[in-house]
Every structure is written in structure tokens, then in C-alpha cells.
């Protein structure tokens, strides 16, 4: 399973995590996450994933974008990631990921996004 295929399971993973949805209750934002060369557009509403669109979308707006290499996401999603691969900011520090755009919604809900983007760790047995 490719990292992008693994990330495509995000709606089911988030649906199975009521605590994470509860913590994002006040969050409504559109953002983009690039898994290697493949973009995903996320629409978050009330802590739930209202939409996840895979692939490029012309003229699609978003508040911010998180980009990471396939290697970065693969290592980030290990059951126990090694130091430097365990956190979004660690990935950016090592140059394997970048974050740009309006960072306010990301930083205001930082733990939610860190936990959301770590959800594919639960798919360890699949690939």
C-alpha cells in the first residue's frame, strides 16, 4: 500500500475516533495535505471530515497546506516513529515536509492536526 493509499483511509480512521472528533468540535477549515506527489483536499467541519478529495483540483482554495515526501509519511506512520520522524515540526526541521499558508487554524488546533495526521499509524498491519 502506498502512503497515499494509506492516507485515503483517513475518513474511516477519523470516524472510529470519537475523542478526536470531539476535540475538533469548534474547527471548520479547508486544507490540503500532499502525500508525496499526490494532493488531498480536506474539508473539516465540527471536527469531522466532511470531504476528502484525492488528486489535483484546479482553483481549489485552502487555508494551509502540509506537504511531505512519501518517505516522511511512511516513517511518520510507523507504530513508534524514530526521533525526527515522530512529529510534524520534526519533519519540517529535517526538510522532509513543509507547511505554508494561513497557519492560524493549524496552530489554534495543533494537537488535533498532529493526531489527525498520525491516524494512518493504526493501519500498520495493512502495508
Its sign, for the CA torsion 78, 84, 89, 94, is negative
Segment 17-67, tens digit of pLDDT: 999 999 999 999 999 999 999 999 999 999 999 999 999 988 899 999 999
The pLDDT, as a whole number, for residue 58 is 87
CB 44 within 8 A of CB 31: yes
- Which residue's entry shows cell 474539508? 43
- Integer CA distances (angstroms), 127 to 49, 109, 116, 120, in order: 23, 29, 19, 11
- Is 28:47 a contact under the CB 8 Å cutoff? no
Q: Which pLDDT score is estimated for 93?
A: 97
Given 3.30.1490.20, 3.30.1050.10, 3.40.50.2000, 3.40.50.920, which CATH number is that of 3-119? 3.30.1050.10
* pLDDT in the model for residue 125: 56
What average pLDDT does the structure give for the chain?
95
Percent of the residues in the chain that have a pLDDT greater than 90, as a whole number: 92
Measured distance CA(101)–CA(66) in Å, rounded? 9
Domain positions in the chain are 3-119
Q: Is the pLDDT of residue 124 over 70?
A: no
Give CA torsion, residues 97, 48, 8, 59, to 10 deg.
Answer: -70
Amino acid at each position: 500500500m502506498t502512503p497515499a493509499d494509506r492516507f485515503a483511509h483517513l475518513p474511516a480512521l477519523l470516524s472510529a475516533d470519537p475523542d478526536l472528533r470531539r476535540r475538533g468540535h469548534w474547527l471548520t477549515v479547508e486544507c490540503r495535505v500532499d502525500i508525496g506527489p499526490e494532493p488531498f483536499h480536506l474539508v473539516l467541519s465540527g471536527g469531522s471530515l466532511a470531504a476528502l478529495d484525492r488528486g489535483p483540483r484546479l482553483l481549489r482554495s485552502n487555508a494551509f497546506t502540509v506537504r511531505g515526501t512519501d518517505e516522511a509519511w511512511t516513517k511518520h506512520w510507523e507504530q513508534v516513529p524514530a526521533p525526527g520522524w515522530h512529529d510534524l515540526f520534526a519533519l519540517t526541521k529535517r526538510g522532509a515536509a513543509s507547511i505554508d499558508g494561513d497557519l492560524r487554524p493549524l496552530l489554534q488546533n495543533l494537537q488535533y492536526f498532529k493526531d489527525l495526521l498520525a491516524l494512518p499509524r493504526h493501519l500498520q498491519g495493512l502495508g
